[in-house]
């Protein structure tokens, strides 16, 4: 299921980005590219002293699995938990998968999405993110004198990762009212907190989903869905109206300039014609 869903999402994205003026065409990433990368690495190891002293692992199309999963699989099986891992990539899946590696010290480095400058980077320290998630959700247990079940940060993180699926990822399209552009993840977490107070377990229990908890989350969502949908609709409609007004005004201005230039040139040509008519 996952590979097929991934193909559908990638086809959709490539179609939408077909007219993008990027320097690098992502459609050029084909299996044949892997062979050239292998040759490049082999050449560098043999000719470059710095490369020869490093352990380089290249996992191409001939090794099943997505890049993020293969990287995390390598980290998962690393013997020393004290090792520090730095992953370069802008895919949010890396952060979510890294969060699940509780005993590993992982940092993700990516380009700054706000400035979009190629030489400016962000470093996301996943141990700090785990600590912040623990502080945020521990409050639910601190205010409850008789919690129905014990607090477990590992289970909280698993549920958090599951909630992000509602927003969407490389495999599935997010639910409409959990759109990340409209703070969908914040909404999902808010509903999750409200539901968790009246439940006796987490959503994910050692790989087994508690359907009753999920049903309560979707029931809560259905109540506010209409209001969220209307709010998003009117916000989008307002933006469209603003852009439409700007385009209309611009077209009107351009038309006035064109009309003025037309008559100026037209009058000039008529004047020359009249002068030529009376020349002897």
Q: Which position has the higher pLDDT, 250 or 181?
A: 181
Q: Has residue 154 got a pLDDT over 80?
A: yes
Length of the chain: 280
Q: Residue 211: inside a domain, yes or no?
A: yes
Mean pLDDT of the chain: 78
Grade residue 278 by pLDDT with cuts at 50, 70 and 90: very low
Q: Has residue 73 got a pLDDT over 80?
A: yes
Boundary residue ending a domain (143, 158, 184):
143
Grade residue 277 by pLDDT with cuts at 50, 70 and 90: very low
Contact by Cβ (8 Å): 184, 174: yes
Q: Residue 100: inside a domain, yes or no?
A: yes
242-252 pLDDT tens trace: 766 665 555 55
Q: Residue 16: inside a domain, yes or no?
A: no
- CA dist., res. 69 & res. 89, Å (int): 13
Which of 157-161, 230-234, 261-265 is predicted least confidently?
261-265
Listing DSSP states for 22-56 in one string gives -SS-GGG--HHHHHHHHHHHHHHHHH-HHHHTS--
Q: Has residue 254 got a pLDDT over 90?
A: no
- CA dist., res. 144 & res. 140, Å (int): 7
Number of domains in the chain: 2
Say yes or no: 200 and 228 in one domain. yes
17-43 pLDDT tens trace: 666 666 666 666 666 788 888 999 999
106-124 pLDDT tens trace: 999 887 665 556 667 888 8
Say yes or no: 108 and 167 in one domain. no
208 three-state secondary structure: strand
214-232 pLDDT tens trace: 999 988 888 877 666 666 6
For position 133, what pLDDT does the model report?
92
Boundary residue ending a domain (143, 169, 192):
143
Say yes or no: 139 and 128 in one domain. yes
Domain range for 133: 65-143
Q: Has residue 178 got a pLDDT over 50?
A: yes
Boundary residue ending a domain (118, 143, 168):
143
Alpha helices in the chain (DSSP H): 2-16, 31-47, 49-52, 67-76, 92-99, 126-142, 153-167, 184-196, 211-277
Q: Residue 78: inside a domain, yes or no?
A: yes
Mean pLDDT of all residues in 60-89: 83
- CA dist., res. 4 & res. 61, Å (int): 16
């Amino acid at each position: 299921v996952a590979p097929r869903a991934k193909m559908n999402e990638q086809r959709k994205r490539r179609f939408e980005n077909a007219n993008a003026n990027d320097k690098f065409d992502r459609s050029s990433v084909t299996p044949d590219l892997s062979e050239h990368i292998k040759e490049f690495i082999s050449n560098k190891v043999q000719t470059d002293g710095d490369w020869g002293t490093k352990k380089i692992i290249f996992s191409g199309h001939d090794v099943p699995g997505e890049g993020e999963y293969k990287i995390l699989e390598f980290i998962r099986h690393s013997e020393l938990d004290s090792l520090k891992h730095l992953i370069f990539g802008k895919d949010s899946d890396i952060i979510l998968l890294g969060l699940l590696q509780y005993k590993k010290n992982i940092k993700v480095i990516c380009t700054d999405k706000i400035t979009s400058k190629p030489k400016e980077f962000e470093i996301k320290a996943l141990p700090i993110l785990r600590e912040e998630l623990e502080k945020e959700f521990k409050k639910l247990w601190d205010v409850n004198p008789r919690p129905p079940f014990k607090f477990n940060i590992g289970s909280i993180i698993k549920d958090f990762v599951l909630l992000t699926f509602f927003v969407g990822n490389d495999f599935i399209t997010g639910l409409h009212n959990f759109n990340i552009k409209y703070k969908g993840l914040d909404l999902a977490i808010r509903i999750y907190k409200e539901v968790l107070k009246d439940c006796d377990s987490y959503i994910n229990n050692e790989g087994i989903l508690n359907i009753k908890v999920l049903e309560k989350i979707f029931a809560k969502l259905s109540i506010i869905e209409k209001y969220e949908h209307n709010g998003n609709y009117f916000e989008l409609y307002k933006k469209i109206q603003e852009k439409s007004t700007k385009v209309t005004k611009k077209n009107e201005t351009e038309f006035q300039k064109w009309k003025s230039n037309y008559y100026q040139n037209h009058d000039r040509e008529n004047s020359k014609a009249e002068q030529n008519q009376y020349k002897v």
